[in-house]
């Protein structure tokens, strides 16, 4: 008999469990609202840079237990669900107590709604009827089985309403206290526990007396439950309640908005931005912008040289005044591309830092460039010409390496150079006759600190790093940085002074035609800082030069950065002609012929186009340049020889081609490329 009853009970229990599992499978809880949260952009430490509204324009910020002060969930359970850890989602003792009180007093005295039931109601809101209450109880048990107790707390802290468009304790803490909920006072934790009970009726900014009374009741319950002692509760009641709802954090707003626009709604985007540095940069940017009297603005990009992490970003000095990201604007770079022109010439072994260059009046076709100071300085070294940013020597060096080839090499590194649609790269490129973005310019300079390897800025954590593109070799990159460390500093600023210890900074300034754009980019061992100053509408700012306008800001940004831990590699390379104290005879003067010298016995090689490159043809065709060997050279493309002395090859269409060069002794070098026709 006992065995038969046991079997019946077991079968009945099995049937109940099976029915529950089948019902759960047929009618699963809808947890989609937990995933339908705000898009979040976070800094490298996990702090909030900016949150963007979820569906319905609510600010629903997902929150986990590890993100809140432990005092808050303790007060929450004391006020809303004292047996939270004991029941399966529905508390029958609380239900019996509430029913008995209602029958005795003829009105609702206390509720029986558990936190799990509140979560079920937040997930699937329904009219307050008896049938809806029974459904809510079943859903509460079901949801708690799915999420677990910690999951229930996290769901409540994400979905609970706190007034207006605020949902979730993290959004509420920022809005009412101006800080994350990781550290809360007893008064703050009690107010956050009270507000969801009636979020509109208890809004502190509208009904401060009601909010204070509700908070104080939570403090009394917490003291009665032993969460805090009575003295702490009484002291907390003396704290004022907030009377203003503050905006949620808005740091790196231009960057955050761009990232959020490219991500699915509800994405959590963790960046490499250093939160403390970003906040300091924003304060600095606002201060500097307020000093401009002509509606000028600024943009700043800070990169880590080692891995190109974007550590801080300023799209404008004041987001409320200008929401256009000026770091993405294509503007004339002035003289800031000169270091890369010299770097390519150094890399070709067609120039040495000690090579002599004539800084005298010269014509380049119909164009006669002048120096910024309208003077001529006679014969100078390449080092001096770059440090003093002399225009005529830079144009000569660009003519030597070829503007089309220089532009192509830079573009092959992923840098966007913008020319008028009807023009090919020309010699004015050396003086700023091109458009470039501040972010691209920062990437170029950071590449010099990485021995000539160019990478785009790394913005988001977890993204696979791209393969670096080689602009120049390590010797040439180090040579340029060595030269730029001797650049003259702005008045009143000592180059190399840092907050903790001397910091060696190689930097270059630039001023575009008509004083429309002022630039400075600086490179230390660990960091690159790029600064642009100008008017967003491109209007001239007479007298506003990069050296006096942007450079002081760059040095102030460096003072916000930690000390450098890396060391700048020395430019010396044993046996390398580029770093002999005195340039070799072949490089004593800048030679203006179009054959590049090589060291004795240097093999013939093709400098451009590089092997495996995708090359966009220009108006005159694809530039051809070789070094080493013994001129004259004969070029052969796909088996067809080009005319003697050819320096361009005009392809007839897109596709793969093999390019061969042969010198006067029959030595040869070859490369394979893919030709791409320009977009119309």
Q: Which residues are catalytic?
A: 80, 335
Burial (CB < 10 A; 0-12, 13-18, 19+), residue 50, is buried
Q: Exposure string (b/e) for 156-180, b if CB count within 10 Å is 16 or more?
A: bbbbbbbbbbbbbbbbbbbbbbeeb
- Cα(678)–Cα(654) distance, integer angstroms: 10
**Under 8 Å between Cβ of 479 and 505:** no
Which residues partner with 269 through β-bridges? 41
Which letter does DSSP use for residue 605 in this model? E
- Per-residue CA distances from 37 to 57, 181, 539 (Å): 10, 18, 43
Strand blocks (E) in 329-374: 356-359
Dihedral Cα 387, 388, 389, 391, nearest 10 deg: -130
Order of strands, edge to edge, in the sheet holding 310-314?
310-314, 297-304, 527-534, 517-523, 506-511
Q: Which residue has the tokens 């035609």?
A: 513
- Cα(640)–Cα(653) distance, integer angstroms: 15
Work out the number of other CB atoms within 10 angstroms of the CB of residue 223: 19
| Residues near 83 by beta carbon (within 8 Å), at least 6 away in sequence | 91, 93, 94
- Cα(108)–Cα(101) distance, integer angstroms: 7
- Cα(113)–Cα(111) distance, integer angstroms: 6
What angle separates helix 391-401 from helix 338-348, to the nearest 10 degrees?
A: 50
- Per-residue CA distances from 465 to 306, 416, 448, 469 (Å): 12, 19, 18, 12
- Cα(359)–Cα(597) distance, integer angstroms: 22
H/E stretch holding 198:
none
- Cα(357)–Cα(345) distance, integer angstroms: 13
Dihedral Cα 390, 391, 393, 398, nearest 10 deg: 140
- Cα(166)–Cα(175) distance, integer angstroms: 8
- Cα(479)–Cα(477) distance, integer angstroms: 5
| Residues near 535 by beta carbon (within 8 Å), at least 6 away in sequence | 294, 295, 296, 297, 516, 541
Residues in the chain: 680
Work out the number of other CB atoms within 10 angstroms of the CB of residue 520: 29
**Under 8 Å between Cβ of 39 and 269:** yes
Dihedral Cα 499, 500, 502, 504, nearest 10 deg: -70
- Cα(592)–Cα(552) distance, integer angstroms: 37
């Amino acid at each position: 008999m006992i065995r038969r009853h046991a079997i019946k009970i077991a079968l009945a229990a099995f049937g109940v469990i099976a029915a529950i599992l089948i019902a759960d499978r047929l009618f699963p809880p809808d947890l989609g609202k937990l995933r339908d949260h705000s898009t979040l952009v976070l800094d490298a430490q996990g702090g909030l840079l900016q949150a963007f509204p979820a569906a319905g324009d609510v600010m629903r910020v997902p929150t986990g237990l590890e993100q809140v002060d432990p005092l808050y969930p303790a007060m929450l359970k004391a006020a809303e669900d004292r047996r939270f850890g004991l029941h399966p989602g529905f508390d029958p003792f609380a239900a019996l107590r509430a029913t008995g009180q209602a029958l005795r007093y003829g009105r609702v005295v206390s509720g029986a709604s558990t936190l799990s039931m509140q979560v079920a109601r937040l997930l699937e809101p329904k009219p307050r009827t008896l049938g809806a209450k029974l459904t809510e109880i079943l859903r509460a048990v079901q949801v708690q089985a799915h999420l677990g107790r910690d999951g229930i707390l996290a769901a409540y802290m994400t979905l609970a309403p706190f007034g207006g468009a605020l949902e979730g304790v993290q959004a509420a803490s920022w809005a009412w206290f101006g800080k994350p909920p990781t550290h809360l006072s007893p008064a703050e934790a009690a107010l956050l526990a009270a507000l969801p009970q009636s979020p509109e009726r208890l809004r502190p900014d509208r009904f401060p007396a009601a909010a204070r009374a509700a908070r104080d009741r939570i403090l009394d319950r917490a003291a009665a439950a032993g969460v805090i002692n009575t003295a702490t509760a009484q002291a907390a009641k003396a704290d004022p309640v907030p009377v203003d709802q503050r905006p949620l954090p808005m740091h790196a707003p231009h960057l955050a908005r761009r990232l959020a626009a490219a991500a699915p709604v509800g994405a959590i985007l963790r960046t490499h931005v250093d939160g403390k540095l970003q906040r300091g940069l924003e304060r600095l940017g606002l201060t500097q912008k307020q000093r401009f009297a002509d509606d000028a603005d600024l943009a700043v990009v800070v990169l880590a040289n080692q891995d190109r992490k974007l550590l801080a970003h300023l799209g404008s000095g004041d987001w409320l005044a200008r929401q256009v990201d000026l770091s993405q604007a294509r503007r004339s770079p002035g003289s800031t591309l000169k270091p890369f022109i010299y770097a390519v010439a150094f890399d070709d072994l067609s120039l040495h830092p000690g090579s002599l260059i004539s800084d005298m009046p010269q014509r380049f076709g119909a164009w006669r460039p002048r120096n910024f100071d309208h003077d001529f300085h006679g014969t100078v070294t390449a080092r001096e010409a770059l440090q003093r940013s002399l225009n005529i020597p830079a144009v000569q060096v660009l003519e030597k390496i070829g503007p089309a080839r220089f532009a192509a090499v830079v573009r092959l590194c992923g840098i966007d150079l913008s020319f008028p649609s009807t023009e090919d790269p020309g010699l004015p490129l050396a003086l700023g006759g091109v458009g470039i973005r501040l972010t691209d310019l920062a990437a170029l300079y950071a590449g010099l600190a990485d021995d000539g390897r160019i990478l785009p800025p790394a913005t988001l954590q977890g993204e696979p790093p791209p393969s670096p593109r080689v602009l120049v070799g390590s010797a040439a990159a180090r040579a340029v940085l060595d030269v730029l460390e001797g650049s003259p500093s702005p008045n009143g600023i000592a180059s190399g002074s840092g907050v903790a210890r001397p910091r060696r900074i190689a930097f270059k300034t630039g001023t575009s035609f008509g004083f429309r754009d002022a630039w400075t980019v600086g490179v230390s061992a660990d960091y690159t800082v790029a600064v642009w100053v100008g008017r967003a509408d491109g209007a001239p700012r007479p007298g506003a030069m990069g050296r006096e306008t942007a450079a002081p800001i760059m040095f102030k940004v460096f003072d916000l950065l930690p000390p450098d831990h890396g060391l700048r590699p020395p430019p010396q390379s044993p046996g390398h002609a580029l770093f002999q104290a005195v340039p070799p005879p072949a490089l004593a003067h800048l030679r203006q012929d179009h054959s590049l010298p090589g060291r004795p016995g240097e093999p013939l090689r093709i400098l451009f186009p590089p092997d495996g490159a995708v090359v966009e043809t220009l108006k005159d065709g694809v530039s051809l340049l070789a070094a080493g060997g013994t001129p004259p050279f004969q070029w052969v493309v796909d088996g067809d020889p080009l005319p003697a002395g050819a320096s361009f090859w005009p392809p007839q269409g897109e596709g793969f081609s093999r390019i061969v060069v042969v010198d006067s002794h029959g030595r040869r070098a070859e490369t394979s490329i893919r030709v791409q026709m320009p977009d119309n």
